[in-house]
């Protein structure tokens, strides 16, 4: 018989304040709440025009973002890609990226798969105009 874990993503603690992120960002990382071994799942919400103040990449996992509300842009290495509701974008391992919300804000779900939940390289101020 199979096993499962159910969790409402809105009930996962917002981690943005723990990392001194502005109120314009909501970051809920559900891997632990869902008891994921190799699967990471997060829901992110950015207020209108807010750009995450750092880029990041993972050396041991690829990721997919799915926009569930609003629109925005993502900088992927040297390219800026427009995103709208229900767009899905996949990132290879070792691909630097950063998100920026459009005029109505953006909410997206991030899916990742990897053995190390701490596998993240951060680059503060990576996307500057």
73 has a pLDDT exceeding 80: yes
97 has a pLDDT exceeding 90: yes
- Walk me through the domains of the chain, giving residue ranges and CATH numbers: 20-115 (2.60.120.10)
Q: Average the pLDDT over 44-65 and give the result.
A: 95
Sequence-ordered list of residues with C-beta below 8 angstroms from that of 1, at least 6 positions apart, any chain:
none
Indicate the average pLDDT of the chain: 94
* Digit-coded pLDDT (tens) for 6-33: 999 999 999 999 988 889 999 999 999 9
More confident residue, 1 or 109: 109
94 has a pLDDT exceeding 90: yes
* pLDDT at residue number 37: 87
* pLDDT at residue number 1: 64
* pLDDT at residue number 113: 87
* pLDDT at residue number 119: 86
Strands of the chain, DSSP E: 25-29, 39-46, 54-57, 63-76, 79-84, 88-91, 97-113, 121-124
Other beta carbons within 10 Å of 73: 17
* pLDDT at residue number 117: 77
Tokens representing residue 18 in the block: 């723990």
């Amino acid at each position: 018989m199979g096993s499962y874990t159910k969790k409402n993503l809105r009930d996962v603690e917002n981690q943005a304040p723990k990392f001194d992120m502005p109120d314009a960002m909501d970051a809920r990382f559900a891997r632990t709440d869902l008891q994921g071994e190799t699967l990471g799942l997060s829901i992110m919400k950015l207020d209108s025009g807010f750009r995450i103040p750092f880029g990041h990449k993972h050396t041991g996992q690829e990721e997919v973002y799915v926009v569930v509300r609003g629109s925005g842009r993502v900088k992927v290495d040297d390219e800026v890609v427009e995103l709208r509701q229900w767009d899905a974008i996949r990132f290879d391992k070792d691909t630097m990226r950063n998100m920026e919300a459009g005029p109505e804000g953006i909410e997206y779900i991030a899916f990742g798969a990897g053995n190390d939940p701490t596998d993240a390289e951060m680059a503060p101020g990576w996307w500057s105009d």
